[in-house]
Structure 1
Amino acid sequence: MSFKIAIIGAGSVGFTKKLFTDILCVPEFKDIEFALTDISEHNLGMIQAILDRIVEANGLPTKVTATTDRRKALEGARYIISCVRVGGLEAYADDIHIPLKYGIDQCVGDTICAGGILYGQRNIPVILDFCKDIREVAETDAKFLNYANPMAMNTWAAIEYGKVDTVGLCHGVQHGAEQIAEVLGANSPRELDYFCSGINHQTWFIDLRLNGRAIGKDELVAAFEAHPVYSKQEKLRIDVLKRFGVYSTESNGHLSEYLPWYRKRPDEITRWIDMSDWIHGETGGYLRYSTETRNWFETEYPQFLEAASKPIDPARRSNEHASHILEALETNRVYRGHFNVKNNGVITNLPQDAIIESPGFVDRFGINMAAGITLPEPCAATCMSSINVQRMSVHAAIAGDIDLLKLAMLHDPLVGAVSTPEEVWQMVDEMVVAQAAWLPQYADAVPAAKERLAKSKVKTREWAGAARRKVRSIEELRAEKAALKQAG
């Protein structure tokens, strides 16, 4: 079979390579075309060279093209995959650093919270441009697979305003399931049957079965507390499990940002996080990791290119959803996964318009969601807090309404727990002014925001956060990698 896949933001080199090799693990897909597009010609050149090397090494007829002309890449595409980061690390740094001046300490800041809300404002106008091109030049009824955060806001905008068949994809569920299988002593994650539901990054393992045996709260708590690593790295997640009765799919650091209880006091932050890796709660952890990864890739590129000469191994196909969804749609081999879609009655105690993450089955007829799910009340309540923020944020981004944007920020659980209304109003002004280059919908609001900032008497502070680590140099990364290799 032959069809075209366009990847927007293909300069996300490592992730694009993973998606590419996953898809080519499907035997029927060897004749397809990949059209790569990105705003960075430099990154496009690097990833095309890697993918061309993979095609050559495996003797495949697969076609790979690369262009900075997004519309050209989308022409005739049946599937469009987005993994963009609008504003790059420059804007992302503002998402972390400006809120710190107002006492808001984020680990990731890309879903809700101060950083995630502004990230959504940057993404949504671009997402709507993608959708316009998809409607006009892609295959009729093309499917848009969104991997970019903030997942719920981007998917909401694409479905509601972009009018494109869209599904949001994340790997938090799979990673959480791997943890659970490990602490329960499973020989393989495949022994664990799990059912998760909620919203992206706040999805809950509401049913767990190990080799057919139901796993309850007490057994799961005991297993996590007995684990020599997770008992230290996932303290907050375990505490939520004890109080809510179900385990969250999201990492310790990410989960801490979505709840108003664990990151509002600096001394409490250090109590609940672990500094062994960024994902467990470090201040600005993902920003540091992303910066180091970019630097590392630029320096070590020849090694990445050399590794691309190895044969594709289907046994090492990842659990990222994209390749499995495409395989199911094109070959009718049924795939079960957890997908981000508009609720429409799937979860009974969440709003109809919300973007939920829940189980579904894929075959040649499309994505078919398991419906009639009722979340435990505490889980639904926590999800509702975020959904209300997401809805206001999407509407603000569509309208360029800075007043609604401030109200969305005020209602964010962590922001509201830390900052006063006056601080929130000034913080939003400061973030919109700093990121004006990526916020075209707020162009008319920027001059007034600058005037208010010039007259403001709200005090801020220079604060690195409760648990900050410096960005490591390439030399430091090499030394740590060598030490780990020697120790292993």
Structure 2
Amino acid sequence: MSFKIAIIGAGSVGFTKKLFTDILCVPEFTDIEFALTDVSEHNLQMIKAILDRIVEANRLPTRVTATTDRRKALEGARYVISCVRVGGLEAYADDIRIPLKYGIDQCVGDTICAGGILYGQRNIPVILDFCKDIREVAETNAKFLNYANPMAMNTWAAIEYGKVDTVGLCHGVQHGAEQIADVLGAKSRQELDYVCSGINHQTWFIDLRLNGRKIGKDELVAAFEAHPVYSRQEKLRIDVLKRFGVYSTESNGHLSEYLPWYRKRPDEITRWIDMSDWIHGETGGYLRYSTETRNWFETEYPQFLEAASQPIDPEKRSNEHASHILEALETNRVYRGHFNVRNDGVITNLPPDAIIESPGFVDRFGINMAAGITLPEACAATCIASINVQRMSVHASISGDIDLLKLAVLHDPLVGAVSTPEEVWQMVDEMVVAQAAWLPQYAHAVPAARERLSTSSVKTREWAGAARRNVRSIEELRAEKAALKQAG
């Protein structure tokens, strides 16, 4: 087979390498072209050198090109994969820093909450530019695979306004299933069957079978509470499991910021999170992790390049959906996964226009969703609260309506649990002014927002958050890795 895959935001080096090697684990896919594009020439050249080394080491006919000219990369592409972060770590730092001044303590801030909503405002205009290019220069009926957060908002905009064939992809379901298999003592992940449904980052394991035996709430709660690690790291998720009756896909830290109950006061935050790793609820944890990862890659790049000389091992193919979807579409080997698509009745008690994450099957006819799923009422209520925020956020981004944007932020569950309307209005003004370089749709609103900030009487505070850690130096990271290696 010979076709072209374009990867936008390919400077996301670790993830691009994973996608690349996964796809090349499919025997039929060795004679294809990868077209890499990014706004950073520096990052592009670094990742291209790594992928070229993989091709050379494995003696493959695969072609790798790299360009900052996005349209050139998309010309004739059958598949387009996006993993962009518009504004980079600079804008992301404001997504965490500014809401903290108003008492909003986020762990990740990339899905909803104040940070995720502004992240969507930066991404959606760019996503629509991608869609325009796909319609005009990519292969007819090219498929757009979106890995970028905020997943639901980006996918919603691409489908409703971009008018391209789009699916959103995430790995939260797989990671949650791995935990469940672990606590239930499964010898392999293949022993666990499940139906997981909801919206991205709020997906629920509504049916679990271990070797065909149905697993109920009480057994699952007991298994998690008995686990020596998860009982400590996933306290919030276990509490939600007890109250809702089903387990959530998302990490302790992610889930904590989508709900109005666990991060509303500093003492509550420290009660429910665990500081052994960022993903369990640390304030700004993913920002710290992303900063450290970028710094580590820049410093240790020669090691990454050397590691690229190893043979590709199909046994190490990851459970990221992209390679398996492409394999099913091109070879008709059926793949079952969980995909982000427009609802249109797939989940009976969620709105039809929502972007849902639910089971589907892929073959040459495309992605075919399993329809007629009904969520438990508490799960549906939680999802609908987020869907309403997502819908307003997407429409605000398209229209450039700053008042609608403020209403979207006001209705966010965690923001509403912490902040007053006056605080929300000022916070959004401050975020729009700080991120104006990435928000062209709000250019007309920035002068008035700046003027309001100059006369505002709403009080703020400089606050690091309830559970903040400093970014570690390269020397500290080296010492930690050496200690782990020695211990293990």
Give the secondary structure class of the aligned counterpart of 1:443: helix
Give the secondary structure class of the aligned counterpart of 2:457: coil
CA deviation string 1:358-411 (max 9, x = no partner):
000000000000000000000000000000000000000000000000000000
Corresponding residue for residue 337 of structure 2: 337
> How large is the Cα RMSD of the aligned pairs?
0.3
Give the secondary structure class of the aligned counterpart of 1:17: helix
In the TM superposition, residue 270 of structure 1 has moved relative to its aligned partner by 0.2
Give the secondary structure class of the aligned counterpart of 2:257: helix
Give the secondary structure class of the aligned counterpart of 1:375: coil
In the TM superposition, residue 416 of structure 1 has moved relative to its aligned partner by 0.4
TM-score (norm 2): 1.00
Corresponding residue for residue 399 of structure 1: 399
Which whole-Å CA distance do the structure 1 matches of 2:249 and 2:194 have between them? Answer: 11
Give the secondary structure class of the aligned counterpart of 1:206: strand
In the TM superposition, residue 62 of structure 1 has moved relative to its aligned partner by 0.2
CA deviation string 1:244-279 (max 9, x = no partner):
000000000000000000000000000000000000
Give the secondary structure class of the aligned counterpart of 1:379: helix
Which whole-Å CA distance do the structure 2 matches of 1:447 and 1:79 have between them? Answer: 41
CA deviation string 1:58-93 (max 9, x = no partner):
000000000000000000000000000000000000
Which blocks of at least 5 consecutive residues in structure 2 are unaligned?
none
CA deviation string 1:266-306 (max 9, x = no partner):
00000000000000000000000000000000001000000
Which whole-Å CA distance do the structure 1 matches of 2:216 and 2:89 have between them? Answer: 42
Corresponding residue for residue 132 of structure 1: 132
Which whole-Å CA distance do the structure 2 matches of 1:100 and 1:306 have between them? Answer: 41
Which whole-Å CA distance do the structure 1 matches of 2:466 and 2:477 have between them? Answer: 23
Give the secondary structure class of the aligned counterpart of 1:14: helix
In the TM superposition, residue 337 of structure 1 has moved relative to its aligned partner by 0.1
Give the secondary structure class of the aligned counterpart of 2:107: coil
1:424 aligns with 2:424: yes
Corresponding residue for residue 265 of structure 2: 265
Which whole-Å CA distance do the structure 2 matches of 1:451 and 1:302 have between them? Answer: 49
In the TM superposition, residue 321 of structure 1 has moved relative to its aligned partner by 0.1
Corresponding residue for residue 353 of structure 2: 353
Give the secondary structure class of the aligned counterpart of 1:358: strand
Which whole-Å CA distance do the structure 1 matches of 2:318 and 2:447 have between them? Answer: 48
Which whole-Å CA distance do the structure 2 matches of 1:211 and 1:307 have between them? Answer: 38
Give the secondary structure class of the aligned counterpart of 1:121: helix
In the TM superposition, residue 190 of structure 1 has moved relative to its aligned partner by 1.2
CA deviation string 1:445-471 (max 9, x = no partner):
000000000000000000000000000
Which whole-Å CA distance do the structure 1 matches of 2:201 and 2:484 have between them? Answer: 31
Which whole-Å CA distance do the structure 2 matches of 1:119 and 1:10 have between them? Answer: 19
CA deviation string 1:33-78 (max 9, x = no partner):
0000000000000000000000000000000000000000000000
CA deviation string 1:140-185 (max 9, x = no partner):
0000000000000000000000000000000000000000000000
Which whole-Å CA distance do the structure 1 matches of 2:190 and 2:69 have between them? Answer: 42
Which whole-Å CA distance do the structure 2 matches of 1:195 and 1:450 have between them? Answer: 48
Which blocks of at least 5 consecutive residues in structure 1 are unaligned?
none
Corresponding residue for residue 464 of structure 2: 464
Corresponding residue for residue 435 of structure 1: 435
Which whole-Å CA distance do the structure 2 matches of 1:125 and 1:229 have between them? Answer: 42
Which whole-Å CA distance do the structure 1 matches of 2:291 and 2:81 have between them? Answer: 23
Which whole-Å CA distance do the structure 2 matches of 1:383 and 1:323 have between them? Answer: 28
In the TM superposition, residue 226 of structure 1 has moved relative to its aligned partner by 0.3
In the TM superposition, residue 347 of structure 1 has moved relative to its aligned partner by 0.3
Which whole-Å CA distance do the structure 2 matches of 1:146 and 1:174 have between them? Answer: 17
Give the secondary structure class of the aligned counterpart of 1:385: helix
Give the secondary structure class of the aligned counterpart of 1:444: helix
Give the secondary structure class of the aligned counterpart of 2:471: coil
Which whole-Å CA distance do the structure 2 matches of 1:69 and 1:480 have between them? Answer: 40
Percentage identity across paired residues of the two chains: 93
